[in-house]
Structure 1
């Protein structure tokens, strides 16, 4: 059984003291494919250093909406150069975030438009961060969608209608730790979404699933998210592993 973590920030300082142990635990649990979205230019350089004999890492390039302020103007030519390389399988993470500040909303939108252009030009999926910005995010994706844009709503926490709209716009939905929080209501929405459009993610070190809620998240905890999804979908853990890994590989063009 092989599980896939499609969104993990292993290059962050939260892992600097025990990264080898974290990767060993991931491998032991069967999470041997880990996707690494960037948050800024520096993180791209940091992820290159990651290695483990049993794990395959898939890199992405992008500027997180919360990093836009510190990277103005966002360099489209630099992003395109990264994403044109076979070393990079996706564009992101990008998106909109109105939670921390709304001072740079226009700049975030310009950056997201730019990431969409790069995604369409390279034929690679876009990874979308969304926090308290759902309508604007989906409106912008609808504006950019010309039939060639693919991607994922990372850390999906939307309503059923918002989820269906995202699917209609060609997006997959990232199922993470929040789907295990019974008071969040996300589990009920995820249960209604089509299995062929769901992929698993941790967003480690953030948003650890039950029973690790409140602790540092790590790739090994994908198994907890997968077990919860299996219960929601009335499938076996093995079926969830097979289907979500297949979905991830289809989205990111992995053979």
Structure 2
């Protein structure tokens, strides 16, 4: 399995990172992709390693951090993302949950991330919270055949999922799929599994039965189990499909 979205470099794991990654390996994970929050994320990622898990870096500026970073400096983002060990541009996107005060600044930032992703031919990783219509409209605006990526932590409707897929995006399936009130039980069976990838968003959004506690990459297995049940497929089949999808979207992780 591949956890395509985990912030394991954050302080939440400072006391037991090795044990956390050991549990991930024992659960069947081979790779973990680490999305950046801002430019300071990279040196934190660089300090991490594990004997059995391949760790991969992304670079981007989270929409909630755009006023605290250099995300307006396109040259800095381009230079950072051009490094060979950066597998994707992200996470970026739109977040209207905490504030709608900086909507235009978030859109400007997202457009710059899209430009960098297309220039470097690397996938983009999209955060979306209460901004679905604007996010998909902006991706449609930017899509010229060169943009690939993932709607991280997909929680949309069937129609929104289909539109995202038509725009070239994969859908990141995580802990919300296990929530009784998450709503994805009716939605995911109506969307193509060939566009699903697994994620945890660790340390956030832990799946049931750990909801409300710290999330960790080993819980990717719980998401796979739930997705298999929702799609009436074997767990082995879901793991194979989502792993193939992740490798297709993030080709640099198999180099």
When the two chains are superposed, the root-mean-square deviation of aligned CA atoms in Å is: 0.9
Q: Is 2:230 the partner of 1:220?
A: no
Residues 202-221 of structure 1 correspond to what in structure 2 (within 5 A)? 202-221=200-219
Match for residue 126 of structure 1?
124
TM-score by length of 2: 0.97
Inter-partner Cα distance in structure 2 for 1:67 and 1:33: 26
Question: Which residue of 103, 114, 117 corresponds with 1:116?
Answer: 114
Tell me how far apart the structure 2 counterparts of residues 73 and 229 of structure 1 sit (CA, whole Å). Answer: 35
1:76-119 CA distance string (max 9 Å, x none): 11111122121001000000000001111111100000000000
Which segments of 5 or more consecutive residues in structure 2 lack a partner in the other structure? none
Offset of residue 190 of structure 1 = 1.3
Which residue matches 1:101?
A: 99
**Match in the other structure for 2:179:** 181
Separation in structure 2 between the aligned mates of residue 107 and residue 197 of structure 1, nearest angstrom: 30
Once residues 184 and 55 of structure 1 are traced to their aligned partners in structure 2, the CA distance between those partners, rounded to angstroms, is: 30
Structure 1 residue aligned with 2:83: 85
Q: Which of 61, 64, 77 pairs up with 1:63?
A: 61
| SS of 1:183 mapped into structure 2 | coil
TM-score w.r.t. length of structure 1: 0.97
Query: C-alpha offsets along residues 33-64 of structure 1, whole Å, 9 cap, x if unaligned?
Result: 00001000111110111100000011100000
